[in-house]
Structure 1
Amino acid sequence: MKKGVNYLFSIHRITGCIIAGFFLMWFVTGLILIYHPYPRLTDEQLYEKKEILPSLLPDIQSIKQKAGENIKQLHIRQSQGQTLATVTTADSCFTYCCNDTTVAVKPITFSFLEETALKWVNAPVIKVDTLHERVQWILYSRYDRAMPIYKFYFDDPEKHELFISGKTGEVQQLTDKSQRLWAWLGAIPHKFYLPFIRKNLDLWDTSITIGGLLCFITSLTGAFVGIYVLLKRHKQKKKWEIPYRKRWYRLHHITGLLFGLFLIAWGISGMISMQRIPQWLINTNGNYIFNSSRMWGKKPLPIDTYELDYRQLKTAYPDLKEVSWTHFRNIPVYTVIVGNRELQIDASTPKIKKLFIPEQTIIEGIQEVHGKNVNFQISLLDTYDNYYLSRTESLPLPVYRVVIDDDISSRYYISPETGYIRYLNKNKMAKKWLFSGIHYLNIQWLLERPMLWTISLWVLCLGSAFVCLTGCWLGTKFIKRYLTKGGYDKNRLQ
């Protein structure tokens, strides 16, 4: 028994020396990250800068004549003063100018990119870089498709930097000096958002997983030895007291006992943040990712089923910017960008009305996926629950909740106004608790009480950070003692 305990003491000391500083960084940067997330452009910002469609729009018959009858996808937008239609058929995808089919679509030129940049930031441009690979503020793989990307530097008090795709002319990212500073203090170290790590997804994934694993091992062994020495002292003296006389040892032991459980939990959440719950642990027969086309149907609806003339949208919404033809099962729908928001318009009738998918359509979709004889419960929610939850209230409401009676506890949350689908099964629900439930305290009861959620998070983070701080100090002393004296006394902490 004593040999095993000594072994755990050694593991705790060694892993603690390695990971205490990292764990401390995680808590401090995590608090910053809550209030200052990694810079990103919102949909509202992107929609706001799009060009408004003109009053005179092409009728659908002229589009059909140009594209043929077998239109699979259709999208109309305004760019460089031209009304452009992008048509996808079974055989091809092409874009043409609706104003005059004999006029070529204007290419993306550098002068156009400069004009776009000045629309976003009203300040002189002092430098432009041409990027052919991802850098600090454009780290996600989706940016590869936009290369080359031009980075514009502006001479304004906020020191804005704007990234624009040379391929599409679309803005990819916008940062200012305040966002960049807070990102370096919070999101970048917390999420390992450094180019040499983040650009390699396997390396990034592995780094976070190993970091979380070391935190978990250190916390678990620390909790064990902390309880062990406490019980040992009680057995010797028949009273409860902290067995250490030195200040830093006492502080580390006391705070470790108080916050050890949370350190273990956060170690677990960090370890699985980039991982799925293994199928050997919670088997879902490989059903992890759900493709919404299974619910709504892959085959597009014929253009003639769109009873609403899309040109009426311009009258109803003067700041109409884009129109896309889509569908949800047998309901033809226009997805439109109006001002700085996206709307779904039901095109099944000649009158303009916003989309609201009826319950019967949801039921038909569920039966399409799970079979006609499936047992399920469906209800319309006006509030969040533990598996459909957003601290910022960004998820759409109301939402249909569909709970399926099957072996993997399938459930769906489906927005009747947007067609958004969130799919879960028992594997995903377990990860919800082990990751976001622990990592962000995404628990319905707490989020419904914002002040209590804030206090809980700050207390737990600061308390856990103090455990790590004392661990860093003791680890530094341990390493110094080991190097100067050639070893350490195994019984020093017992």
Structure 2
Amino acid sequence: MDWTRPVRAKRWLFLTHRWLGVLLCGFFAMWFVSGIVMMYVGYPQLTEAERTAHLPPLGSGTGLREPDAALAPAGLALVPLAELRLAVASGGHAVYLVRPEGAPPRSPATVIDAATGEVLRAVDAPRALASAAAWAGPGVAADYEGTLQEDAFTHSRGLDMHRPLHRVRLHDADGTVLYVSGTTGEVVRDAPRTERLWGYVGTWIHWLYPLRGNALQPYWSATVNTLAVAGTLAALAGTVVGLQRWRFRGRYRSGARTPYPTPAMRWHHALGLVFSAATIAWIFSGFMSMNPWKLFDSGAPPLNLAALQGGPLAVGPPQGPHPPAASLAALLTPTGGTTRELRWVRATGRTLVLAQPAQGAPEVLDAATAAPTAIDAAALREAIARLVAAPLVRVDTLAHYDLYYYARAPHTMTGAPAKPLPVLRAVFADEHATWVHVDPLTGAVLGRLDGHRRASRWLFAMLHSWDWVPLLERRPLWDAVMLVLGLGGAALSATGMVIGWRRLRRKAGRA
């Protein structure tokens, strides 16, 4: 029997942890510290609540064309539509934003002046400044800072349809920088001074965004994955070594339970045993956030949204195959002219208009009568059953958040979109074990989960953010747990940096 094998294996564990630790302890410390910052300040984003709060009111609709008259010159009056909304969102003017059905998912909307019916194509500096001025409100000066494709706060792929972006700096109390779409003229991101400054020590370095938007862009994903795998191996090896060297019974000759003589080594050993599980969970779940090897892509076919809508959304003249439509004035009357946006949608065979106030849920109006209405519950359930080509097992009504449908703070990575309650959860008996969440107020699909995505919820979201609803609902208990673990991991990493620096200095001295 070869008695040297266990010795060699143990030696390799030591070497793996030692040198991977020397290489990665700085990254570990950076991830822990920046993760603590991200608990309270996230990457800049324009939430739906912020967007609607800054839209000017539409007023009574005087001087604005009806949808069919505005869309007709562009040839969109009778075309099936994927999106149709009206807001003071581009250049300080009321505009219709239209996307035909079948358009690529991330294609920009066509912008039509609601007063003239003119298609607005070029977004120049004056139009961008006008959009920013309407967003900021009266009395706020602004400086135009040019166009850009991408900067430190606009790496999100959701902005690709809006590039190039116009950057405008407001002279407000928050020192806000606005990014205006180069394709639609809408404000698509706001970045207050606080988010920008803390972002550099939070999300920007946590997600290794210095590698984004430059010549290193092609290597960003591979770099993150490699560091995460190496970090997980280093933490696992260190945990095994730490358990082997800790005297749970008896003590070393020094009287301590750890064999290491220097304070840095002793603290690193003890902290490693206490915080190793959290460290491994965080590094591994960070790797899972990258969806390596497409692990969480199930290949499930798309939902049959047409069945839920009950026909295409189209805007036509009062005569012909389309029923008469309520006028803009009638649609704006129920809210007294305070509506920020009108959005036309289809649900269960009906055309509805969502009148969005500055805050809160939209008012659901019948598109033909402008009267407040509600979606028939039975009709909605029948339509939901046709979303997936498989038997519908049940439809549950959730009045409270649970492990798979829950809300996070708006600044967090998963804080948008909003998660309204109550919500319907449809469970299907297909091979992908599909769940679909539907808003009973608007008939909109809020999300889809299959077996792969539910696994991602545990391997990424739960392990990385500890978004366990009973804990989230008992803040500051969640904060206390995260801070203790985060600071413990940072201390573990800091002692590793001291040990690594001393070892490298000794190696250099011998050389």
Give the TM-score normalised by structure 1: 0.83
CA apart distance, 1:159: 3.9
Runs of at least 5 residues in structure 1 that lack an aligned partner in the other structure: 487-494
| Deviation, structure 1 residue 428 | 1.2
Q: Which runs of 5+ in 2 are unaligned?
A: 1-5, 104-108, 316-321, 410-414
CA contact (8 A) 1:139 1:198 kept: no
Compute the displacement of 1:294 (Å): 5.9
CA contact (8 A) 2:298 2:450 kept: no
**Pairs within 5 Å for 1:165-180:** 165-180=181-196
Q: What is the letter of the counterpart of residue 394 of structure 2?
A: Q
Q: 1:296 aligns with which of 288, 304, 308?
A: 308
Distance 1:277 1:145, change over 3 A: closer
Q: CA deviation at 1:446?
A: 1.5
CA drift of 1:349 comes to 6.8
Of residues 265, 274, 278, the one that matches 1:249 is 265
Q: 376, 388, 398: which one pairs with 2:405?
A: 388
Distance of 1:228 and 1:112 partners within structure 2: 67
Distance 1:189 1:434 in 2: 22
Q: Is 1:333 aligned to 2:352, yes or no? A: yes
Q: Distance in 1 between matches of 2:68 and 2:18?
A: 75
Aligned to 2:475: 450
| Contact 2:248–2:257, Cα closer than 8 Å, also in 1 | no
Which residue is equivalent to 1:401?
425
Change (3 A) 1:105 1:205: closer
Distance 1:405 1:168, change over 3 A: closer
- 2:39 match: secondary structure: helix
Alignment match of 2:78 (pick from 70, 78, 87): 70
Q: Is it true that 1:286 corresponds to 2:299 in the alignment?
A: yes
- What are the residue-to-residue correspondences of 1:88-487 with 2, within 5 Å? 99=115, 108-119=123-134, 120=136, 122-125=139-142, 128-154=144-170, 158-194=174-210, 196=212, 202-230=218-246, 241-275=257-291, 286-287=299-300, 290-291=302-303, 293=305, 296-297=308-309, 299-301=311-313, 303=315, 304=322, 311-317=329-335, 318-340=337-359, 343=362, 345-347=364-366, 350=369, 352-353=371-372, 355-356=374-375, 358-371=377-390, 374-392=391-409, 394-418=418-442, 419-486=444-511
SS of residue matched to 1:258 = helix
Map Cα deviations across residues 71-96 of structure 1 (whole Å, 9 max, x no partner).
31244445667654566668999765
Query: How far apart are 1:473 and its partner, in Å?
Result: 1.0
In structure 2, relative to structure 1, the CA distance for the partners of 1:108 and 1:427 (3 Å cut) is closer
Structure 2 partner of 1:21: 26
Structure 1 195/140 Cα, relative in aligned 2: closer, same or farther at 3 Å? Answer: farther
Residue 272 of structure 1, CA deviation: 1.2
Q: Distance in 2 between matches of 1:147 and 1:468?
A: 39
Q: Deviations over 1:435-466 (max 9, x none)?
A: 11011001122123223211111111111211
Alignment check: 8 A CA contact 1:76 1:84 kept: yes
Q: CA deviation at 1:174?
A: 3.0
Aligned-residue CA RMSD (Å): 3.6
1-structure distance, mates of 2:448, 2:48: 23
Q: Percent identity?
A: 22
Partners of 2:281 and 2:431 lie apart in 1 by: 28
TM-score, structure 2 length as denominator?
A: 0.81
Q: Is the 8 A contact 1:130 1:148 kept in 2?
A: no
The CA deviation string for residues 232-272 of structure 1, in whole angstroms up to 9 with x for no partner, is 986999x9922323221111111111111111111110111
Question: Residues 468-488 of structure 1, C-alpha deviation per residue, up to 9 Å, x if partnerless?
Answer: 1111111111111222224xx
Give the letter for the 2:29 counterpart: L
